[in-house]
């Protein structure tokens, strides 16, 4: 490894740890204590490839079979689009960041692609996709999952290389080119499934269990961009009904009954659906996003194709105690006396592009409507940016229930950029249902979590049913719960807010122009206009590397 050319800031966490361990081992072999501060040591070149024998001498280490490298000049390449899914709870987002505390999805993809020798970077420890025609459809934020993410990469192929003609070879040599490095495939019969590498299967063997390759496109159009050729992105935000544990009627404080007519913990799905429909169409969503100071040229107008609340069928986990009258709401549609509870719903959103945290902002306000704390008309008020140019100060909805559900191609007017997916199992059915098939892998992951859910639900129902709270053996026990409003924000528990303050009565955040102007002055520009002029002079490729616009730049959460 050439440390002179290394940029440790861009190395993966695992690569940095391995590098530290290698250096510590070198110090030990040289008789130094790595935990002590020592002057710089000139390391013998033999130490890296030597082992210590019992008598203290060194012998060259045998080269491991796994260390043998593939000669990329002997292989052709092909441009491929991949569809993948991941559970984002344990990751710091999709996009790789140098100083992130959690691993990113891109980092895990990079390690899998390099270890499978599908790409051949000069430094495998440094995440840099620039040389591989890489693009991504969505840049999901920390904790956000995706079941239909799309990326493109130029990868190694089994298709034979064409033999260059002698004249072509001589011309290339005169120009100083490496003829062997030409990667155009030979023009001969080649089957994309019998002869080609099994890309998804290879990658799924190397990726973590919560990241899975679902499909690939053998006929990816040249110049296709997963980001710019996407016509529509679909998100789903999941939640339960009730949203959090309701109190028995006998313990509810009379002081909170005047704040909302919806029983604490429950959601008015009909009111949420009325409010969600107001998002449809083209609107200025500046009051439903987080403003990125580094994006002064952003436009806040977005088009929502569809927005609705949908019930998930056959997803109930029975908690019988919720069926007792003391826990049920007085009157909420969809909660019948014989229905299993809790129910599961999701906010379904289809749009062309989204702003940073846009969906989580939308969901946060919808939850306030569902709890009876706001009327559906609050959506109209916040979309009227002439009357309300700055966002009220409200909390984002939790990130974990949000899923980038699907990405639809091609964009309008470019039918040539359609993608024809081949899903795992369509090539060989045992890749889906075999002993190591995708369904088998996902079943293992599902069952582990299902057992956690099953045991937790059984315990919850047991605990909720054991005690007779009417006994009140503690004579000092309060007659009612504290007079505080409990607000649901998408997480695993409610937040106590005391007396609820309506959205339109809350303090306002800075307007986007104020945010941009403050950022411009922080960067020593006179104003935001000067900063915009400076950004306009940058090459387009450099501008695209700037932080994502909104949870997606064309998307959400990081964007989204």
211: nearest Cα among 125, 112, 100: 112
The torsion angles phi and psi of 80, rounded to 5 degrees, stand at: -130, 140
- pLDDT for residue 300: 96
Element (H, E) at 308: strand 301-311
Element (H, E) at 444: helix 438-466
pLDDT at 35 over 70: no
Query: Tens digits of per-residue pLDDT, 157-189?
Result: 999 987 765 554 455 445 444 434 445 555 568
**Greater model confidence, 1 or 277:** 277
Range scoring the smallest mean pLDDT among 35-49, 151-165, 448-462, 541-555: 541-555
- Distance of alpha carbon 461 from alpha carbon 473, whole angstroms: 23
- pLDDT for residue 150: 98
Eight-class DSSP state of 269: H
Element (H, E) at 26: helix 13-29
Percent of the chain with pLDDT over 90: 67
Q: What is the mean pLDDT of the chain?
A: 86
- pLDDT for residue 474: 94
- Decide if 137 contacts 407 (C-beta within 8 A): yes
- Distance of alpha carbon 485 from alpha carbon 498, whole angstroms: 5
- Distance of alpha carbon 219 from alpha carbon 418, whole angstroms: 9
pLDDT at 520 over 70: yes
What's the residue count for the chain? 560
- CB hemisphere CA count around 318 (13 angstroms): 4
Mean pLDDT of 226-248: 96
- Distance of alpha carbon 390 from alpha carbon 380, whole angstroms: 14
Strand intervals (E) in 380-498: 402-408, 422-423, 486-487, 495-496
- pLDDT for residue 373: 95
- pLDDT for residue 53: 52
- pLDDT for residue 294: 87
Quickly count: other Cβ atoms within 10 Å of residue 132's Cβ: 19
Mean pLDDT of 494-520: 94
- Distance of alpha carbon 198 from alpha carbon 155, whole angstroms: 12
pTM of the model: 0.84
- pLDDT for residue 555: 42
- pLDDT for residue 256: 78
Range scoring the smallest mean pLDDT among 148-152, 254-258, 353-357, 430-434: 254-258
**Greater model confidence, 464 or 334:** 464
pLDDT at 345 over 90: yes
């Amino acid at each position: 490894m050439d440390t002179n050319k290394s940029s440790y800031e861009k190395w993966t966490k695992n690569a940095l740890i391995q590098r530290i361990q290698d250096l510590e081992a070198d110090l030990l072999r040289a008789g130094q204590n790595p935990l002590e501060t020592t002057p710089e040591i000139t390391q013998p070149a033999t130490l890296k490839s030597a082992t210590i024998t019992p008598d203290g001498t060194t012998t060259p280490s045998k080269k491991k079979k796994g260390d043998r490298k593939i000669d990329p000049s002997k292989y052709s390449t092909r441009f491929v689009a991949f569809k993948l899914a991941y559970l984002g709870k344990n990751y710091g987002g999709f996009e790789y960041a140098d100083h992130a505390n959690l691993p990113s999805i891109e980092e895990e993809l990079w390690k899998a692609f390099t270890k499978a020798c599908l790409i051949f970077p000069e430094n495998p420890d440094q995440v840099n996709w620039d040389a591989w025609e890489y693009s991504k459809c969505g840049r999901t934020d920390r904790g956000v999952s995706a079941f239909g993410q799309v990326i493109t990469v130029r990868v190694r192929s089994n298709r034979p290389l064409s033999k260059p003609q002698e004249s072509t070879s001589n011309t290339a040599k005169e120009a100083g080119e490496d003829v062997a490095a030409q990667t155009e495939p030979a023009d001969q019969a080649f089957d994309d499934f019998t002869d080609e590498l099994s890309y998804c299967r290879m990658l799924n063997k190397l990726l973590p269990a919560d990241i899975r390759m679902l499909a690939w496109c053998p006929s990816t159009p040249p110049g296709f961009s997963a980001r710019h050729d996407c016509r529509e992105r679909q998100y789903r935000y999941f939640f339960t009904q009730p949203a959090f544990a309701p109190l028995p009627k006998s313990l509810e404080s009379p002081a909170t009954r005047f704040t909302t007519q919806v029983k604490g913990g429950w959601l008015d799905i009909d009111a949420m659906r009325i409010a969600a429909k107001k998002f449809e169409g083209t609107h200025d969503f500046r009051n439903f996003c987080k403003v990125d100071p580094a994006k002064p040229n952003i436009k806040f107008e977005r088009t929502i194709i569809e927005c609705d609340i949908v019930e998930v069928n056959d997803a109930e986990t029975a908690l019988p105690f919720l069926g007792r009258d003391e826990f049920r709401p007085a009157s909420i549609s969809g909660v019948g006396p014989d229905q299993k509870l809790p129910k599961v719903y999701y906010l379904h959103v289809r749009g062309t592009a989204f702003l940073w945290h846009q969906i989580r902002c939308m969901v946060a306000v919808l939850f306030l409507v569902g709890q009876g704390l706001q009327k559906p008309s609050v959506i109209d008020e916040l979309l009227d940016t002439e009357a309300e140019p700055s966002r009220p100060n409200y909390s984002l909805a939790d990130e974990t229930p949000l899923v980038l559900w699907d990405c639809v191609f091609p964009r309008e007017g470019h039918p040539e950029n359609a993608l024809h997916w081949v899903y795992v199992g369509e090539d060989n059915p045992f890749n889906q249902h075999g002993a190591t098939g995708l369904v088998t892998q996902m079943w293992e992951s599902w069952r582990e979590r299902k057992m956690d859910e099953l045991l937790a639900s059984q315990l919850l129902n047991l605990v909720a049913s054991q005690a007779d709270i009417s006994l009140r053996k503690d004579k000092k026990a309060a007659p009612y719960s504290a007079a505080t409003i409990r607000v649901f924000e998408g997480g695993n528990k409610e937040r106590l807010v005391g007396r609820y303050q309506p959205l339109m009565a809350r303090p306002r955040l800075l307007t986007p122009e104020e945010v941009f102007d403050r950022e411009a002055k922080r960067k020593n520009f006179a104003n935001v206009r000067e900063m915009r002029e400076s950004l306009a002079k940058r090459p387009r490729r450099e501008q695209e590397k700037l932080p994502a616009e909104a949870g997606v730049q064309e998307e959400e959460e990081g964007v989204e």
